[in-house]
Amino acid sequence: MGAAQNKATVVAAYEAFGTGDIAAVIATNTPDAVWVNYSTPASPLSGEHKGLDNIGAFFGLIGDTIDITEFDIAPIAADGDIVVAEGHQSYTVKKTGKTVSGPMLHVFTFGPDGKVTRFEEWESNVQDAWT
């Protein structure tokens, strides 16, 4: 698959996430895909989530631990097997009541079959929100 198709897959995944269609987001991944969230170690979202079941559990953790109030993605750029998306997010950590708000960066790596093999997320302003 080419860069344009990979970018279209990412755009569709964000649209699915926005409507709560997590199954559609998960379906964009290979069975052994790895999702990595580079957040504070205090966050249960932080770390590596490997395979479709664990990626699904990651989305379960999102619903269980945070209330998202803003999730805006732009721009999205693609080059070959890599798609990079920049955005801004705000959410409240349910356990602490503290808010995280700031820029984020997502990097998707695609395999030759047009499925995501690796997803990496960097968040900002998360240091004290989970404690």
**Domain contains 129:** no
- Could you tell me the pLDDT band of residue 68, with boundaries at 50, 70 and 90? very high
Looking at the DSSP bridge assignments, the partners of residue 36 are 48, 120
> Cα separations (Å) of 84 from 14, 44, 76, 131?
13, 24, 6, 30
CATH number of the domain that residue 51 is part of: 3.10.450.50
**Domain contains 99:** yes
- Length in residues, the chain: 131
pLDDT, one tens digit per residue, over 78-115 is: 999 999 999 999 999 999 999 999 999 999 999 999 99
Number of domains in the chain: 1
**Domain contains 128:** no
Domain that holds residue 95: 3-123
> Cα separations (Å) of 130 from 4, 21, 69, 72?
37, 26, 17, 22
pLDDT, one tens digit per residue, over 11-51 is: 999 999 999 999 999 999 999 999 999 999 999 999 999 99
